[in-house]
Amino acid sequence: MIDLNHNSGCQYEAPLRPPGIAAAIGRAIDSALLARHQAQPPRRYVSSSGLGRECLRQIQYDYLAVPKDEGRDFEPATLRIFEAGHRGEDVVAAWLRVAGFDLRTHRSDGRQFGFSGLGGRFRGHIDGCVVSGPAPMIFPALWENKAVGAGPWKEIVKRGVVVVRPVYAAQIALYQAYLDLPNPALFTALNRDTLELHAELVPFDAALAQAMSDRAVQVVRASDAEELLPRAAADRSAAVCRGGMSGGSYHGACSWQDRCWRAR
Ligand code: SF4
């Protein structure tokens, strides 16, 4: 008789999961994502999405498509997070629409709405524009969405996007100015871990939009003159270079730390 008692060691079914399948699938996806990322042509314009970063030199390196330091390009794990964030935008757009908002995200030809300045060397693309809907806000309003982890999401809920993520605030102000959408923008933040949604209205900050627009001009002009813009930090251990929190704001790690601090 088979002993079916606990601790008998009896196995009711043979294992159904071939060993190593998770690693094999993960490797296949990671190498495909990496290959796709590496095949993308470099961006040749100042992007509104990164213009609010503190360091002008970092923005300039990005604009000039200067190769990133060895080992500092995006890892597959980061590429997966980017893609999930991008798809999160579609999820939130669908939620807004089912709730009755008239949200426009693409032109009739399928392209995103956006703007271009400085002869195409300064560009931005918006997530969308809300034309009407069941909420006490003024229409039309710019819509900007971000998908973030639970930690930053809670911070945004507590202190607001303008304080916690100045880079997003700069992006919003630029879009409001260039797309002529001066009403308070609808900012939504999707919690990547719980799928909770935060929403807030961001008033138009004309001074911020002007300052960011001036920065774009400065980056393009300095690059034309082959002039390297100044660093935002006195040494490379600063949070703006190595990444982390400083002055209540988050900085991503700079991808050109070695190159920057090697330069005279
Ligand atoms: S390493 Fe620091 S100072 Fe240099 S470009 Fe990057 S952020 Fe700026």
pLDDT number for residue 204: 98
pLDDT number for residue 99: 98
In a domain, 236, yes or no: no
Cα-flanking dihedrals φ and ψ of residue 66, to 5°? -65, 135
pLDDT number for residue 8: 72
In a domain, 22, yes or no: no
With b for 16 or more beta-carbon neighbours within 10 A and e for fewer, the 4-24 pattern comes to: eeeeeeeeeeeeeeeeeeeee
Choose which residue among 53, 260, 262, 264 to substitute to test ligand 1 binding: the one with the highest number of ligand atoms within 8 A of its C-beta. 260
With b for 16 or more beta-carbon neighbours within 10 A and e for fewer, the 229-247 pattern comes to: bebbbeeeebbbbeeeeee
In a domain, 93, yes or no: yes
**What is the CATH number for 214?**
3.90.320.10
In a domain, 37, yes or no: no
pLDDT number for residue 14: 62
Alpha carbon 28 to its chain centroid, in Å, reads: 25
In a domain, 79, yes or no: yes
| Number of neighbouring beta carbons within 10 Å of residue 157 | 16
For ligand 1, is residue 232 a contact (CB within 6 Å)? yes
pLDDT number for residue 245: 85
For ligand 1, is residue 229 a contact (CB within 6 Å)? no
pLDDT number for residue 249: 78
pLDDT number for residue 144: 98
Does 140 sit behind a cis peptide bond, omega within 30 degrees of 0 on the bond before it? yes
pLDDT number for residue 11: 65
Rounded CA-CA distance 219/215 in Å is 6
What single-letter amino acid sits at 41?
P
**What residue's CA is closest to ligand 1, atom 7?**
241
Ligand 1 centroid distance, CA of 121 (Å):
22
pLDDT number for residue 248: 75
Structural domain tally of the chain? 1
In a domain, 103, yes or no: yes
pLDDT number for residue 77: 92
For 223, the domain range is 43-231+249-262
In a domain, 17, yes or no: no
Q: Which atom of ligand 1 is nearest to the CA of 241?
A: 2
In a domain, 179, yes or no: yes
Q: What is the pLDDT along the chain (264 residues), one digit of tens a residue?
A: 667 677 776 666 666 677 799 999 999 999 999 999 999 998 889 999 999 999 999 999 999 999 999 999 899 999 999 998 889 999 999 999 999 999 999 999 999 999 999 999 999 999 999 999 999 999 999 999 999 999 999 999 999 999 999 999 999 999 999 999 999 999 999 999 999 999 999 999 999 999 999 999 999 999 999 999 999 999 999 999 999 888 777 888 999 999 999 987
**What residue's CA is closest to ligand 1, atom 5?**
58
Tokens of 107: 């032109």
